[in-house]
Amino acid sequence: MHVKLRIIPTLKLLTQENRYIVGIAVGVSLINGILPFVIILGNSEILNSLIRENYQQVWQQLGLTYTIYILGQVAVNVGQRYLDVQMVNVDERLKLRLRRSWMKVDFEQLETDDFFAQMNQSETSFRYSGGFAVFMRQLNQAIQSVTSLSVGIGVTVTLIVLGINQSKLIALLSVTSLGLILFGEWLGLIWYRRLTIQNLKIFRVLMNQERVLNYFLMEVINRYEIIKSIKLNQFSTVIMKHYREQWATSQKTNEDYIGNQFQSRIVTTAMTGLPISILVALLIVKIRLKILKIGSLNNLFGSLVQVAASSTALVTAYQNLERFEQQTKFIHQQLLKPNVLRKKQRVTTGKVIAFENVSFRYASGKLALSHVNLVLPIQGTTAIIGENGSGKTTLVKLLLGLYQPTSGRVTLDGVDIQALNRDDYLKLFSPVFQDYAIFDFSLKENMIANHAEDSAVLDTLLRRWQLLPWIQKLPEQLETVVGSYSSENFQPSGGQKQQMALVRGGYQAGKLALLDEPTASLDPLKELTTFQNIKRFSSQQPTIFITHRLGAAKIADRILLMESGQLIADGTPEELKQVSPEFRTLWAAQSRIYQ
């Protein structure tokens, strides 16, 4: 029951992708489990007919036995071919579903270390487990083994009880033999269960150690920025020290794992050797007393071979299925979540965004925003300033609806944004955060994403954000491919990537641009031009931008000053100089840098 319940989540996933696949797998496995006994029992009858010299019956039994066997093999091969092809497709579809599920995760969860740890675990589970095709092979093996085991035990028990009523000696020998076999197998199963639990514990440790090894061996050097730090700051020795320490630990765990498997093989050998020796002795006695025919020996040996092989295969498949379920636990959590769809109000316009007594606390317990009240008409230019950790970016993420307030609410034209259609609401904005991503495909695709191509709009944005002269010098211009997958391994500079992000945000054509430190990677001249453009085009596209540079904030129509998660000042630059001592302190501190 325990194993059955454990594999149900995986069976649900498989039937969601292909409702026939589990049924066909069960059918193939049942036929595979029965076919060996068609040959064993048929050959025994052929042998008995040969001893009686009844050759007509020999040919009849020969034709019937091998016709059934060949037809069974054809059915198995056709079914297995279907399963092999479909399981490859199922694996790919489940990977796509997993990636789509990641895209639906709330930003609050997305930014936690736990989520990425689980995401990496689910991703690597396809590598370690071999994918759901491996699960299906193990399930096939388990069902086939149970079938062969059941038929083999049935044949064996029949041979044991035959003739039991002919003499007290036979009855005593049969009952004693059966009792010894059952007692020995019971002890073996207890021992094997303990080894299996230990095997799973060791394997979980081994998986975690493998991920750590992979980090120090490959992941730690998979980006230019990291390699640069390793070479310039002398980290190579430290990294290799950690790798060697982890490798030594992993080797010890591997030895424990191999030792556990060796003990498991000893148990299975004992579990098959004991009944074989007892049963052969009993059968010889019955044949000598003419209770059984000579062909019964073939039935016994054939059945015992199948029972022994099936027992070993079953416990191996059981261990592998348990291990697979451990590896794919997070995949089940992601893909089997109930899909609750609530109808949301469509967004047809947007004029005013308001924060009504909004507070926000991270899952770690840290309070990031406290009782913020704010009205933001979608017009002009607004700068959000403050020290690191003051709540600037959190405020913008709440505005976008990426986070949900712990208390209070954010509204659009008086309607709580949580009640609005998420896609409609996000289309109001053109966001550009500091942690933008540049992907390994063409410059054009990086900037227009999945929006329809409009050459005139793109050209205007390239000129506005000063990218056009650089792109025109490239041999392939907008079709230039970024990253390691291109033959040239083309990499834009940090400033060029930030300009591309600005173009990308503008191309979304939202009513309100949201820019998080939009000039952090730009040189002073480009920075000046960028802020001038933000001001110049604010009548076409109102802008909210986060900045540490108070000089740049002077271009804003309105400044919001954040401190320790609170909005402590709100007004024009001139008003804040008059009424906010905190603003004056920041202004004076930055002014001294340029004196």
DSSP labels for 385-411?
Answer: EESTTSSHHHHHHHHHTSS--SEEEEE
d(CA 316, CA 140): 12
d(CA 503, CA 505): 5
d(CA 8, CA 404): 34
Return the half-sphere exposure (C-beta side, CA atoms, 13 A cut-off) of residue 546. Answer: 22
pLDDT value at 143 more than 80: yes
d(CA 139, CA 6): 12
pLDDT at 334: 61
pLDDT value at 214 more than 80: no
pLDDT at 71: 92
pLDDT value at 294 more than 60: yes
- Evaluate if pTM is beyond 0.85: no
pLDDT at 102: 63
d(CA 416, CA 425): 11
For residues 348 and 351, the model is more confident at: 351
CB 356 within 8 A of CB 170: no
CA-based radius of gyration for the chain: 36
For the segment 365-383, the average pLDDT, to the nearest whole number, is: 84
d(CA 55, CA 426): 84
Highest mean pLDDT among 88-102, 326-340, 446-460: 446-460
109-123, 225-239, 525-539: the lowest-pLDDT one: 109-123
257-266, 366-375, 392-401, 534-543: the lowest-pLDDT one: 534-543
Using 50, 70 and 90 to split pLDDT, how confident is the model at 522?
low
d(CA 61, CA 68): 11
Using 50, 70 and 90 to split pLDDT, how confident is the model at 524?
low
Return the half-sphere exposure (C-beta side, CA atoms, 13 A cut-off) of residue 455. Answer: 1
pLDDT value at 329 more than 70: no
**What are the angstrom distances between the C-alpha of 407 and each of 16, 76, 359, 398, 565?**
39, 61, 5, 12, 14
pLDDT value at 50 more than 50: yes
**Strands in 314-428 per DSSP E:** 352-361, 367-377, 381-386, 407-412, 415-416
Question: Which sign, positive or negative, has the C-alpha torsion 205, 211, 216, 220?
Answer: negative
pLDDT at 4: 45
For the segment 224-229, the average pLDDT, to the nearest whole number, is: 62
Percent of the chain whose predicted confidence (pLDDT) is above 70: 77
SS3 state at 222: coil
Highest mean pLDDT among 267-271, 326-330, 410-414: 410-414
pLDDT at 341: 46
CB 325 within 8 A of CB 166: no
Using 50, 70 and 90 to split pLDDT, how confident is the model at 112?
low
SS3 state at 227: helix
For residues 159 and 201, the model is more confident at: 201
Listed in sequence order, the residues at least 6 apart from 113 whose beta carbon sits closer than 8 Å to its beta carbon are none
Using 50, 70 and 90 to split pLDDT, how confident is the model at 129?
low
User: In whole numbers, what is the pLDDT of the chain averaged over residues?
Assistant: 76
CB neighbour class for 207 (10 Å; exposed up to 12, middle 13-18, buried from 19) = middle
d(CA 325, CA 323): 5
pLDDT at 128: 60
Q: How many CB atoms lie within 10 A of CB 540?
A: 8
**What are the angstrom distances between the C-alpha of 307 and each of 36, 268, 272, 522?**
11, 11, 8, 73
Residue corresponding to tokens 């060697």: 244
pLDDT value at 130 more than 70: no
Using 50, 70 and 90 to split pLDDT, how confident is the model at 418?
confident
CB 380 within 8 A of CB 333: no
Per-residue pLDDT reduced to its tens digit, 528-572:
666 666 666 666 778 888 877 776 677 778 888 888 888 888 888
